[in-house]
Amino acid sequence: MKIVLLSAASSIHTVRWANGLSEAGHEVFVISQHENIDPFLPSVSVYTLPFRGVLGYFTIVPAVRKLLKKIQPDIVNAHYASGYGTTARLVGHHPWILSVWGSDVYDFPHKSPLHKWLVKKNLRAADRVVSTSHCMAEQTRTLTPELKDITITPFGVDLSAYQFIDIGGEKQTDKIIIGTVKTMKPKYGIDTLIEAFAILINSLQSKSEIDTKKLELRLVGGGEQTTELIALSEKLGIADSVKFIGQVPHTYVPQELARLDIYVALSRMDSESFGVAIIEAGAAGRPVVVSDAGGLPEVTINGVTGLVVPRENPSAAAAALEKLVLDSNLRKEMGYAGKIHVAENYSWSACIKTMLEVYNTTVSKYSRNLNE
Q: Are 290 and 305 in contact (CB under 8 A)?
A: no
**What's this model's pTM, rounded to 2 decimal places?**
0.81
Query: pLDDT (tens digit, 0 to 9) for every residue of the chain, 372 residues total?
Result: 999 999 999 998 899 999 999 999 999 999 999 988 878 999 999 999 987 788 999 999 999 999 999 999 999 999 999 999 999 999 999 999 999 998 899 899 999 999 999 999 999 999 999 999 898 999 999 999 998 889 999 888 888 888 888 776 556 678 999 999 999 999 999 999 999 999 999 999 988 778 899 999 999 999 999 999 999 999 999 999 999 999 998 889 999 999 999 999 999 988 777 788 999 999 999 999 999 998 899 999 999 999 999 999 999 999 999 999 999 999 999 999 999 999 998 998 889 999 999 999 999 988 887 776
Q: What angle do CA 64, 69, 74 make, to 5 degrees?
A: 95
Going through 299-350 in order, the beta strands assigned E by DSSP cover 306-309
Q: What is the DSSP string of 246-268?
A: E---GGGHHHHHHH-SEEEE---
Q: What is the DSSP string of 44-62?
A: SEEEE-S--HHHHHHHTHH
What does the pLDDT look like over 237-251, one tens digit per residue? Answer: 999 999 999 999 888
Q: What angle do CA 196, 200, 202 make, to 5 degrees?
A: 120
Q: Which residues lie closer than 8 Å to 133 by C-beta, 6 or more apart? A: 152, 154, 273, 274, 275, 294, 295, 298, 299
Domains of the chain: 2-155+348-371 (3.40.50.2000), 159-345 (3.40.50.2000)
Q: What is the spatial distance between Cα 362 and Cα 341, in angstroms, rounded to a whole number?
A: 29
Q: Are 278 and 296 in contact (CB under 8 A)?
A: yes
**ω into residue 95 within 30 of 0, thus cis?**
yes
Q: Which residues lie closer than 8 Å to 220 by C-beta, 6 or more apart? A: 179, 180, 181, 182, 245, 246, 247, 248, 256
Q: Are 142 and 176 in contact (CB under 8 A)?
A: no
Q: What is the number of alpha carbons within 13 Å of residue 62 lying toward its C-beta?
A: 3
* CA dihedral angle for residue 17, residue 21, residue 27, residue 30, rounded to 10 degrees: 0
Sheet order of strands, 242-246 included: 242-246, 215-220, 176-181, 262-265, 288-291, 306-309
Cβ burial of 354 (10 Å; 0-12, 13-18, 19+) is: middle
Q: What angle do CA 63, 358, 131 make, to 5 degrees?
A: 80
Q: What is the spatial distance between Cα 168 and Cα 329, in angstroms, rounded to a whole number?
A: 9
Going through 153-239 in order, the beta strands assigned E by DSSP cover 176-181, 215-220
Q: Are 125 and 91 in contact (CB under 8 A)?
A: no
